[in-house]
Amino acid sequence: MLAGPPDSVLKREREFVHAFVRPCGLDVRATDVMVDAVETLARLAPGKATEHRGAIGVFGLTALRALERIPLGRRLLLNQREVEAKQRRADTEGREVSWL
């Protein structure tokens, strides 16, 4: 490896670049490919959204919303970083956060 990578490694690297990084070819600019893809997506009509609510999901969301309404529940739902951010925001606004 000190003298340079073996031919098998170089071949695998070239195959990866051709297959994954530049599948449209090395001579095709990635920007052009991206622009074409975005413009194609922009021309597509949005599909009709289907709404499917499972009973477990509805129950879980209802439980989380109920927890959010009580101080202990809010404390349980937030991680330490979120608690600290809310405390800093309250401090800068000059208000007290009673549930922390």
Quick: pLDDT tens for 7-39: 898 999 999 999 988 888 889 988 999 999 999
Alpha carbon 1 to its chain's center: 38
- Rounded to whole angstroms, how far apart are CA atoms 19 and 1? 25
CB 99, CB 74: distance < 8 Å: yes
Q: Using alpha carbons only, how large is the chain's radius of gyration in Å?
A: 26
Give the pair of three-digit tokens for residue 60. 């879980």
Whether the Cβ atoms of residue 68 and residue 60 lie closer than 8 Å to each other: no
- Structural domain boundaries in the chain: 7-43, 55-93
Q: Which tens digit of pLDDT belongs to each residue from 60-83?
A: 999 988 987 887 887 788 888 887
The pLDDT score that the predictor gives to residue 75 is: 78
Q: Are 67 and 77 in contact (CB under 8 A)?
A: yes
What tens digit of pLDDT does each residue of 32-61 get? 999 999 999 888 877 777 777 888 988 999
pLDDT at 16: 93
